[in-house]
Structure 1
Amino acid sequence: MRAPVLMLILIFLITLSGCSTKKSLPIEELPSNDNELHPKEVSPSSFEIEQIMKLASKGMVIDSPFNVFESSIQQVKSSWGEPEQIDEVAGGSYATYKERNTVFGFNPEGEIYDLRSYNENLRELTMEKVEHELGQPKDMRKNNQESIYVYELQNNTELKFIISSNTKRVDHISIYNPARIKTQQYVLDIKGNSNQLTDKAWRSMQNWRVQIKKFTTEHNNVYLNGPNKKMVALTFDDGPDETITPAIIDVLNDYNVKGNFFFLGSNVKLHPEVVKKAYESGHLVLSHSFNHVELTRLGKGEVEKEIKGAGEEIQSVIGKMPAILRTPYGDTNDQVVNVSKEQGYSIVLWSIDTLDWSQKDATNIVKNVVGNVRNGDIILMHSDSDKMETEKALPLIIEALEKMNYEIVDLETLLNIKAYQ
């Protein structure tokens, strides 16, 4: 019996030795860290969201040693070389390092204010998981292609999760420092053409456009356009009348879009029911002076009378005094600005002129908008009695803008100023 027992013991020891040899590795072949022993899962974990937040608090994103507080694009180029491409935008530029999954937004001085990571692991991250870990965002912006969830950090920066509308997952993240772009002015050139203008009239208009753009940069209560965001405002001068203005209100209502009506005090007096309809439909009722005269040719007392008279006429109908004025013909000077400010008004002009008062043709009106539209544009149209082509063009403009993912808003929203006093 002893021989079989000894044989069994010997077989067991040989087997054990073989298993041990199979599992053992020389010390130099051991993985260098726990991550290699336990590779990361493709799907970001709660810990990784925590890491994203930790980096964001330092102005950083994954895959990049740079930050939005101190780093410059010169430092990036010195370390990483030239980017694959640079895209120019209003107020800054964006440099793409595709192989490093990183994009840098930088201002004219080269300071980085926006850092974006396109790390492919982010695409396994759903918004539900982000909200579970971080709570509801401070702000959410949405269009047909993406949703942007914005979390505000203690250092006044923003962490943004950009969600694809197709996949419902994170496409990329951005850490954004507005302090590095706050001194930049986003002022657009005024666009719009008409084949009905003489060469002399066109040169005069071009000269005025250059001068008024410079003028707006020197006065903090005069606006040509809104901020560099995917929003625009539709504005209508010279009403109300009894046919075109009500028709335009109906179109705006049908599309659930807010409009901005710069009414003349003299016309408000003639058609108060139209003014009331515009206001009760949720559109802004604003001032275009009382008589549509060139305010820059008047004395101070006459300017005061024009502005005050229109405001009081509007107030008598809607119960509110407007706080936004559009000067007739856009004519504006220091005296007009000062009087407006004294009476509680901001002056809002335009960055796209449809020239519906010159070339009264729906095709050209639409072309002037669709062919020129940019972030923050304020679009000038008219709603007085001979603007049938404007009424005809309006649905086409709204549909085109929405197809281009522009949000159509009122001036109060676009400019973050009061519509009424």
Structure 2
Amino acid sequence: MNLKKLPKALLMIVFSFSTILTACVSQTPHQNNNVKPKQTALAPKEVNTSSSILLNEIMAWAKKGTVKDCPFNALGSTIEKAKSEWGEPDKVDLAGYGSYATYNKKNIVLGYNKAGEIFDVRSYSKDLKEISDKMLVKSFGQPSEVKDNNNEHIYVYELGPELQFKIIIPKSSNVIDHISVFNTKRAEANNDYILDIKGKSNQLTEQAWTSMQKWRKDIVLFSKSQENVYINGPDKRKVALTFDDGPDEIITPAIIDILANHHVKGNFFFLGSRVKEHPNVVKEAFDQGNLVLSHSYNHVELTKLGNAAIREEIDRAGKAIKSVIGKEPAILRTPYGDTNVQVAEISKQEGYSIVLWSIDTLDWSQKDSKNIISNVIANVRNGDIILMHSDSDKSETKKALPLLIEELQKRNFEIVDLQDLLNIKAYQ
């Protein structure tokens, strides 16, 4: 063909068509022109590129002890730091090794221990819902362990001697619900010697006993997450004798004398309202070297009060005691052991540790000296805090006390005050 003789417009069409053909051929340089090119198939979800990139990012963050979009980690961060930057969480729940703070807008949950150290960083990001179990194994390989936990599977990947990466997948689905970066050492910190609460009474109804058992389990779990709430002391051959609900004119003075005669110290949790009625008894308890501590002012359930009322109960009792002995206590026993996050936090703000008990003699229920002694001797362990009472109807407690002290000493238990046992200050 003589291109020079073609009209100019037609010549342009020819060149354009030629260019298109050249471009098409250049995209498949090794393709046989007689074979039609195969169409590229859509990638299955299991090998989706964007999800693969996300998984790589997730693992990279996990190795740093955290999750994407969270500036706090399970290696060195604290809940106080999180609160200072993110504010108060939407809610705090007790579970496992400690407390879990939920930040809904962040899709993040932070688990922290009694010392406030973050040990668990969880993400509930919507992006995770696009990742299946098959993708997970394809990208990360087989997990170290797969746990079957009620309605979910937990894929566990070990990232080091202390760090675990957990992926939680509901059994009803094959996609991720949430992920967790978990520090086992921090999770177990301060929780290595927590005793369960012992003591029985045949005077309790079945319903009352069931309720008590539930409370005991819940309060022990709760204490693990609170740095200022104690159930027992360390694993040393020491115990503490504590007495609630005094003072009175008969039983409390008798108990003070018994302790003095046996050269041991006790811990009196006095009610502020009764301190004003019997200041001389309070002064005598203090002068004999016993700890004079707070049991609130009116012996009401603090968890049923508002913040101001809780603070008033603590403050009034502290001031009443200080007016007699010249010192305000730094240890509080909540009435009935009734304690929650709100009560613990306000107590901390007021300068108080909350000390409960690990053995309940139940001298208020089964008022029998033999049962009181048996509840202690049959259950006593290192670090036990023993609960008794010193109000006016506890004559059996007074009767049991000398025998109880002697039996503990025969078993080589040192009877100490709570300041010694727990290494905390008794007064502010």
TM-score normalized by structure 2? 0.56
Is 2:368 aligned against 1:361?
Answer: yes
Is 2:192 aligned against 1:185?
Answer: yes
Q: How far has the Cα of 1:253 moved from its partner?
A: 0.2
Is 2:384 aligned against 1:377?
Answer: yes
2 CA distance for matches of 1:182 and 1:192? 27
2 CA distance for matches of 1:355 and 1:370? 14
SS of the residue 1:358 aligns to: coil
Q: How far has the Cα of 1:242 moved from its partner?
A: 0.3
Partners of 1:265 and 1:290 within 8 A in 2: yes
Correspondent of 1:323 among 330, 347, 357: 330
Structure 1's consecutive aligned runs of 4 or more residues displaced over 3 angstroms after TM superposition are 179-184
Partners of 2:190 and 2:224 within 8 A in 1: no
Cα deviation, 1:183-213, whole Å, max 9, x if unaligned, reads 5521000000000000000000000000000
Is 2:232 aligned against 1:222?
Answer: no
Is 2:297 aligned against 1:290?
Answer: yes
In structure 1, the residue matched to 2:100 is none
Matches within 5 A, 1:6-405: 184-405=191-412
2 CA distance for matches of 1:182 and 1:217? 9
Sort the Cα spacing of 1:207 and 1:255 in 2 relative to 1 into closer, same or farther, 3 A. same
Sort the Cα spacing of 1:303 and 1:399 in 2 relative to 1 into closer, same or farther, 3 A. same
SS of the residue 2:276 aligns to: helix
Partners of 1:244 and 1:391 within 8 A in 2: yes
Cα deviation, 1:302-356, whole Å, max 9, x if unaligned, reads 0000000000000000000000000000000111011100100000000000000
TM-score normalized by structure 1? 0.57
In structure 2, the residue matched to 1:127 is none
Letter in 2 for 1:390: T
Percent identity reads 70
SS of the residue 1:304 aligns to: helix
SS of the residue 2:351 aligns to: coil
2 CA distance for matches of 1:308 and 1:182? 32
Q: How far has the Cα of 1:386 moved from its partner?
A: 0.1
Flag structure 1 segments of 5+ consecutive residues without an equivalent. Answer: 1-178
Correspondent of 2:423 among 407, 416, 420: 416
Sort the Cα spacing of 1:202 and 1:385 in 2 relative to 1 into closer, same or farther, 3 A. same
1 CA distance for matches of 2:308 and 2:341? 14
Aligned length: 243
1 CA distance for matches of 2:191 and 2:273? 40
SS of the residue 2:254 aligns to: helix
Q: How far has the Cα of 1:182 moved from its partner?
A: 6.1
Q: How far has the Cα of 1:233 moved from its partner?
A: 0.1
Cα deviation, 1:2-25, whole Å, max 9, x if unaligned, reads xxxxxxxxxxxxxxxxxxxxxxxx
Partners of 1:261 and 1:286 within 8 A in 2: yes
1 CA distance for matches of 2:274 and 2:231? 25
Q: How far has the Cα of 1:239 moved from its partner?
A: 0.2
SS of the residue 1:270 aligns to: coil
1 CA distance for matches of 2:304 and 2:394? 27
Partners of 1:225 and 1:376 within 8 A in 2: yes
SS of the residue 1:232 aligns to: strand
Sort the Cα spacing of 1:293 and 1:182 in 2 relative to 1 into closer, same or farther, 3 A. closer
Cα deviation, 1:114-133, whole Å, max 9, x if unaligned, reads xxxxxxxxxxxxxxxxxxxx
RMSD: 1.3
1 CA distance for matches of 2:307 and 2:334? 14
1 CA distance for matches of 2:191 and 2:333? 25
Partners of 1:350 and 1:378 within 8 A in 2: yes
Cα deviation, 1:235-261, whole Å, max 9, x if unaligned, reads 000000000000000000000000000
Flag structure 2 segments of 5+ consecutive residues without an equivalent. Answer: 1-184
SS of the residue 2:239 aligns to: strand
1 CA distance for matches of 2:276 and 2:193? 37
Sort the Cα spacing of 1:202 and 1:418 in 2 relative to 1 into closer, same or farther, 3 A. same
2 CA distance for matches of 1:245 and 1:360? 16
Partners of 1:185 and 1:217 within 8 A in 2: no
In structure 1, the residue matched to 2:57 is none
Letter in 2 for 1:352: I
SS of the residue 1:262 aligns to: strand
2 CA distance for matches of 1:231 and 1:183? 18
Cα deviation, 1:144-201, whole Å, max 9, x if unaligned, reads xxxxxxxxxxxxxxxxxxxxxxxxxxxxxxxxxxx99965521000000000000000
